[in-house]
Amino acid sequence: MARTEEKLHIVMFPWLAFGHLIPNLELAKLIAQKGHNISFVSTPRNIERLPKLSPNLASFIKFVKLPLPKVDKLPENAEATTDVPYDVVQYLKKAYDDLEEPLTRFLESSKVDWLFYDLIPFWAGTVASKLGIKSAFYSICTPPCMGFLGPPSVLMGEDPVRTKLKGFTVTPPWISFPTTVAYRYFEMMRNSDAVSDNDSGISDMYRFGAVIKNCDIVVIRGCTEFEPEWFQVLENIYQKPVLPVGQLINREFEGDEDNITTWQWMKDWLDKQPCGSVVYVAFGSEAKPSQDEVTQIALGLEESKTRFFWVLRVQRGPWDPDVLRLPEGFEERTKGRGIVCTSWAPQLKILSHVAVGGFLTHSGWTSVVEAVQNEKPLILLAFLADQGLNARVLEEKKMGYSVPRDERDGSITSDAIANSIRLVMVEDEGRVYREKIKEVKDLFVNTVRQEKYIDELLHYLSRNLSNC
């Protein structure tokens, strides 16, 4: 008999990237608001860098710090993808895999109902099963992305549907409806390390397949009303329950005013700009453009004559030897019309400002949700991972326009940047993007629907416990 009257204890074990940690914490907060207990497991430094919880949630969410094991070629104190250059992330995965034993000890010593894990720990489902704990793969990647990547057998290399990179540029056989959702060839060239073995010993694709194969249910960030056909694909290819948790809009954390001085000067500048005149430019914590791309983006912003606020991350952590630089004289030539910020910036606050009229983005889904939340049309410039697939979805739904690129190498020109910004923000031809972003807002920001998803998830979790 199900223990519906009892409060659940859920352990959450996200991957060591803030694009994963934050959506996991958002879901943890929604569950904690219902009175259930969360143990949020990560490394000490990552937990210290997370936004502060509001007092009403602090008693329900316990942070569990597991020190990251030392691994050759991984710098000391590097605990998140944002700390290291892209080619060092494979060693972070190796260290993360070494958390299997300490996580197991924590699970053994705690009364746990469910383990929620991310797409990297291919071993987590097996650990949970051996301990008699139910497990959920919580995907922060969208249903179209996961649906396109396919069933576990394909991901783990057991079904040779995709033997070459070109196999990722066409619609796979398990998708029966017309769609443009597929990688472009240059995107797969940039993602080629995901399908091959790396120094962690396990390819990303194999990891994805194993986490899906070994879990009891799949929990996914998404909304059935926004993408119903993709949820059906997931049900078909996974052959296990797939439960949506909504888009998880970012509600500002209590204690966010720690950086009030930084925000104040930004707000002062934005306050002086005309309504809808500023393009906000930011590419998240993972994507780092090349030096040539930065040069073309800068020259494009200059050519566009548009006001801009650019959050430019010049290096991935202190061990990144390639520090990005702006074109000579760029800041002087655009002085008064634009800001380049190379430190932390409060994205949600910037996007909510009336002066911002468009968002040049990498297509990371958290950024997309924040843009929709604030009705800002999207100019898309994908770089890696799932961003290209996200961009196809946004193009299909007329929520964003992709900057034209060379199909062979993905290179961009300043003209393409300038024209894309003006199209989406100013020209009549881009009115569809400005209007569509407002039309879809209710699918992302409807609190009643969000509550319903969480209630249904918790009902399922309570009804399907191992030790009832």
Instruction: Specify whether the backbone of 398 is left (phi greater than 0), alpha (psi in -120 to 50) or beta.
Output: left
Q: Is the pLDDT of residue 254 over 50?
A: no
Tell me what pLDDT residue 388 has. 94
Which carries the bigger pLDDT value, residue 1 or residue 387? 387
Phi, psi of 279 (to 5 degrees): -95, 125
Would strands 37-42 and 9-13 be described as parallel, antiparallel, or unpaired?
parallel
Domain locations along the chain: 9-251+445-463, 258-443
Residue 255 has pLDDT above 50, yes or no: no
For the chain, the distance separating the N- and C-terminal CA atoms, rounded to the nearest angstrom, is 6
- Sign of torsion over alpha carbons 187, 289, 319, 118: negative
Is residue 251 predicted with pLDDT exceeding 80? no
Res 167: pLDDT: 83
Could you read off the pLDDT of 71-110 as tens digits, one per residue?
999 999 999 999 998 889 999 999 999 999 999 999 999 9
Which pLDDT tens digit goes with each residue over 215-234? 999 999 999 999 999 999 99
Rounded to an integer, what distance in angstroms lies between the CA atom of residue 296 and that of residue 294? 5
> In 3D, which of 63, 46, 57, 51 has the Cα closest to residue 11?
63
pLDDT of residue 253: 44
Mean pLDDT along residues 284-290: 84
Distance between CA 168 and CA 161 in Å, rounded? 10
More confident residue, 468 or 327: 327
Residues in the chain: 468
Are 397 and 377 a contacting pair, CB within 8 Å? Answer: no
Residue 318 has pLDDT above 90, yes or no: no
What CA–CA distances, in Å, run from 291 to 312, 324, 464, 468?
12, 6, 51, 57
- 258-443 CATH, one of 3.40.50.720, 2.60.40.420, 3.90.79.10, 3.40.50.2000: 3.40.50.2000
Which has the closest alpha carbon to 204: 15, 33, 374?
15
Fold equal for 9-251+445-463 and 258-443: yes
CATH number assigned to the domain covering 9-251+445-463: 3.40.50.2000
> What pLDDT is recorded for position 387?
93
To the nearest whole number, what is the mean pLDDT of the chain? 91
The side-by-side arrangement of strands in the sheet containing 278-282 is 338-341, 307-311, 278-282, 356-361, 378-380, 400-402
Q: Is pLDDT larger for residue 63 or for residue 467?
A: 63
Helix (H, G, I), strand (E, B) or coil at 273: coil
β partners of residue 117: 13, 137
Element (H, E) at 359: strand 356-361
Q: What is the pLDDT of residue 115?
A: 98
Are 115 and 134 in contact by the 8 Å Cβ rule? The answer is yes
Q: Which of 161 and 301 is assigned the larger pLDDT?
A: 301
Percentage above 90 pLDDT, the chain: 77
Q: Provide the percentage of residues in the chain whose pLDDT is more than 70.
A: 95
Whether pLDDT at 366 is above 80 = yes
Backbone angles phi, psi at 143, to 5 degrees: -55, -45
Q: How confident is the model at residue 139 (pLDDT cuts 50, 70, 90)?
A: very high
Q: How many CB atoms neighbour CB 129 within 10 A?
A: 16
| Residue found under tokens 């997309």 | 368
Q: Are 253 and 53 in contact (CB under 8 A)?
A: yes
- Tokens representing 344 are 């932390």
Output the pLDDT for position 5. Answer: 54
Please list, in sequence order, all residues whose beta carbon lies within 8 angstroms of the beta carbon of residue 281, skipping any fewer than 6 positions away: 297, 301, 308, 309, 310, 311, 312, 359, 360
Greater confidence (195 vs 39) lies with: 39
pLDDT above 70 for 138: yes
- Euclidean distance between CA atoms 461 and 140, whole angstroms: 19
| Pair of tokens at residue 169 | 């540029």
Place of tokens 């990237």: 17
**pLDDT tens profile 151-187:** 999 998 887 777 677 888 999 999 999 999 999 998 8
Task: Judge whether residue 32 has pLDDT over 50.
Answer: yes
Q: Does 2 score more than 50 pLDDT?
A: no
Taking only the tens place, the pLDDT of each residue in 401-449 is: 999 999 889 999 999 999 999 999 999 999 999 999 999 999 899 889 9
pLDDT at 252: 57
pLDDT at 278 over 50: yes
CA-nearest of 249, 436, 258 to 351 is 249
**Does 310 score more than 50 pLDDT?**
yes
Q: How far apart are CA 6 and CA 2, in angstroms?
A: 9
Q: What is the pLDDT of residue 349?
A: 92
Mean pLDDT of 281-288: 86
Surface-to-core class of residue 441, CB atoms within 10 Å of its CB (0-12 exposed, 13-18 middle, 19+ buried): middle
Assign 468 a pLDDT band (cuts: 50, 70, 90): very low
Dihedrals phi, psi of 308, to nearest 5 degrees: -145, 150
